[in-house]
Amino acid sequence: MSNQDSPVKEIRWVGRAVVARVAGDIDLNRSPQFQHSLLALLDERPRRIIVNLSEVPYMDSSGVASLVKLLSRVRKSGCSLRLVGLSDRTRSLFEITRLDHVFEIYATEEEALA
């Protein structure tokens, strides 16, 4: 797979929560970098990880798989994971795969940080 720039464009700390802003399509081409960047967030031992997907117009199952892997690691490490700003398309993908009941999904960063 190609080694493009990470789709994770910004990492911001709010207390002990870390907010990752993601941009662009997440597909087979970009999901390896996406997953690598997300899993690296755990190295800083946050209490909560918030993944902002509001700038992600398209995601496929490889992107979802990256988030499932992160969720698995998050649960083992005792922190929490919240997703924010899913587009209609991305939300539909989560519904199709029934993962909308597995992930904590919020409309805004403010709600996810509360």
Partner 1 sequence: MMLPGGKPIRLCVLSLASHLPVVRAAVQKTCELAGLGAEAAGGVVLGVDEALTNIIRHAYKCAEDRPIEIELAVLDDPGARALRIRLRDYGCPVDPAEIRSRDLGDVRPGGLGVHIMKKCMDSVEYRQAEGGGTVLTMIKNLPGADERGNQ
Helix (H) or strand (E) holding 68, with range, is helix 61-77
Q: List the one residue from 23, 39, 65, 113 that touches partner 1 (CB under 8 A).
A: 65
Nearest-approach distance from CB 15 to partner 1, in angstroms: 28
- Take residue 95 and report the two structure tokens written for it: 């519904």
Strands 8-14, 17-23: pairing is: antiparallel
Least distance in angstroms from the C-beta of 37 to partner 1: 16
| Contact in structure between 61 and 96 (CB atoms under 8 Å) | no
Whole-number minimum distance, CB 34 to partner 1, in Å?
A: 12
Cβ 27 to partner 1, closest distance in Å? 5
Q: Please tell me whether residue 97 binds partner 1 under the rule CB under 8 A.
A: yes
According to DSSP, the residues that pair with 42 across neighbouring strands are none
36 lies in the site for partner 1, by CB under 8 A: no
β pairing state of 104-106 and 8-14: unpaired
Contact with partner 1 (CB under 8 A) among 20, 49, 66, 74: 66
Cβ distance 8 to 34 under 8 Å? yes
Cα 85 from chain centre: 10
Which residues contact partner 1 (rule: CB under 8 A)?
1-2, 4, 25, 27-29, 58, 60-62, 64-66, 68-69, 71-72, 88-89, 92-93, 96-99, 102
